Amino acid sequence: MSERPFFGHVIDGKEVDSDSGERFTSVNPWTREVWADVALGGATEADLAVTAARRAFDEGPWPRMGYARRQELLERLADLMEEHADELGSADSRDMGKPLAQCRHDVARAAWNFRFFAEHAKLSTGETYPMDSGHHAYSRFEPAGVVVAIAPWNFPLMLETWKVAPALAWGNTVVLKPAEDTPASATILARLAAEADIPEGVFNVVHGYGPNSVGSALTEDPRVDRITFTGESGTGRIIGRAAMANLTPVSLEMGGKNANIVFADADLDNAVDWSIQSIFRNAGQICLSGSRLYVERAAYDTFLEKFVAKAEAMKFGDPLDPETEFGPLASQEHFEKVKGYIDTVESEGGRMATGGLGDGWFVKPTVLVDMPPTSRHVCEEIFGPVVVITAFDSEEEVVALANDSEYGLDAQLFTENLSRAHRVAERLRVGTVWVNCFFIRDLRAPFGGVGSSGIGREGGSFSREFFTEPKAVVMQI
């Protein structure tokens, strides 16, 4: 019998193995050894989980108990998450190699997702429309039904709760499929949900792969009312097609190749600090990362010198060491993908100012210069600690460069010129613009991308719009 921890599906309030008894393993990217066994679901588990969620929605108390009672239970879940922050954080850290300190930060944020959305739903109001005809109309926001949430591996618990929290707060029931590389924290979350007395069938977790597996079975199930997905743009396109076959509304949060623009009048130390965070935090495995860094020529040399020095000073090593800032890449497959970009820097016409491959599945903080604008390194999402730095001469030029991408998730912009900040922010074709900062979020604000970065927005009322069925009631008085 294996001594390793086991993470099962959680269906209808019970943690279970797969019907077939099949399992898969999770590998710790730091040790490169298997650390956990996980139930491997397929079409059967997808069916069982949707059936449980459907029954809990159609017959159970959850959609009917009112916002205040749901808030109490979701707050209780948030409390339990904080009490189990070490367990949740180290599960994500072992699954994907992210430094434990950052994982613990993600747990706090994940708990906040529940607190925020429970409060937001309770305080939300509908609208009234007094009509010239004398009729009276108003809006209601009713739970949509069964929500399928499909999540990526780069912020496992945090991104899962970004979907699960608003869906539950608005009275839906949920089936969550975490990424196969990061299954553990989702099962722990479901165990805690049961401990918080969230009724059976309201929050279900199934594990397994995407295509021809539990993932595709969930997205093809006509009993599902909403699909919310975060992951690669190619996967989003497939899920979008599956959703449309059943006319199931879908929200897609996908990849990015985000521009980070530093004007010469910026506070350069501030710009360097945030730019380092933007591309090297989580070893660059962030959809929002500023992987195309444009620096105005007058500041280019100074910026590059400071940036390279900071990149080289980052402390990498064992993710469980509290001092570690920078861990390995999340899996061998992902390491091989990023390595492919590192290996082709020179053949694509560029140069590495610092960085390159490290031991095991590490890629050091890597800075590329002189890359041609058409190179794969400039155009494709690498999703690793690899930044391309390019000089520019004018505002007009850099706006055109920034917008020259199939993606449009976010941009960062560093300048002390207030007018320019507003002007450029308006012209960038993206979902979020950060000025003189990065990654600061107000959960009421719209979050999402344009082009290949996404369809739809989540956050605050935008999440309400997606996770409810807005209804108009028109009355003759």
Positions that interact with ligand NAD (CB under 6 A)? 150-154, 159, 177, 179-180, 209-211, 215-216, 219, 230-232, 235, 238-239, 253-256, 287, 381, 383, 409, 449, 454
For residue 462, the surrounding DSSP H or E stretch is helix 460-467
Token pair 């429970």: residue: 118
Nearest approach, Cβ of residue 167 and ligand NAD (Å): 16
Q: How many CB atoms lie within 10 A of CB 224?
A: 25
Amino acid 81 reads M
CB of 442 to ligand NAD, least distance (A): 16
- How far is it, in rounded angstroms, from Cα 278 to Cα 291? 8
Q: How far apart are CA 107 and CA 117, in angstroms?
A: 16
Nearer to ligand NAD, 251 or 390 (CB): 251
Contacts of 241 (CB under 8 A, 6+ apart): none
Would you say 308 and 367 are in contact if contact means Cβ atoms under 8 Å apart? yes
Nearer to ligand NAD, 49 or 299 (CB): 49
Closest CA to 283 of 143, 102, 152, 148: 102
Cβ proximity to ligand NAD, 229 vs 316, nearer residue: 229
- Measured between alpha carbons, how far is 1 from 350 in angstroms, rounded to an integer? 52
Min CB(433)–ligand NAD separation in Å: 15
In this structure, what token pair is assigned to residue 456? 């739809």
Q: Which is nearer to ligand NAD, 71 or 235 (CB)?
A: 235
Are the CB atoms for 61 and 359 separated by under 8 Å?
no
Tell the smallest beta-carbon distance from residue 250 to ligand NAD (Å): 11
* Partners of 130 in the β-ladder: 136
Shortest spacing between CB 150 and ligand NAD, in angstroms: 5
Phi, psi of 11 (to 5 degrees): -125, 125
- CB-nearer residue toward ligand NAD: 149 or 308: 149
Strands 136-143 vs 468-475: parallel, antiparallel or unpaired: antiparallel
Q: Identify whether the C-beta of residue 164 lies closer than 8 Å to the C-beta of residue 149.
A: yes
Shorter beta-carbon distance to ligand NAD: residue 96 or 389: 96
Q: Using CB atoms, what's the residue nearest to ligand NAD?
A: 210
In whole angstroms, the minimum distance from the beta carbon of 84 to ligand NAD comes to 23
d(CA 17, CA 207): 10
Cβ at position 309, least distance to ligand NAD in Å: 28
Q: Tell me the C-alpha distance between 57 and 414, whole Å.
A: 47
- Of 52 and 227, the one with the shorter C-beta distance to ligand NAD is 227
Q: Closest distance between ligand NAD and the C-beta of residue 260, in Å? A: 15
Query: Cα angle vertex 309, ends 306, 311, to 5°?
Result: 110
**Dihedral angle over CA of 246, 249, 255, 260, nearest 10:** 160
Q: Which of 45, 160, 180, 253 is catalytic?
A: 253
Is 253 one of the annotated active-site residues of the chain? yes
What is the Cα–Cα distance from 140 to 171, expressed in whole angstroms? Answer: 13
- CB neighbour list of residue 86: distance below 8 Å, 6 or more residues apart: 104
Nearest to ligand NAD of 266, 378 (CB atom): 378
- Residues designated as active site: 253
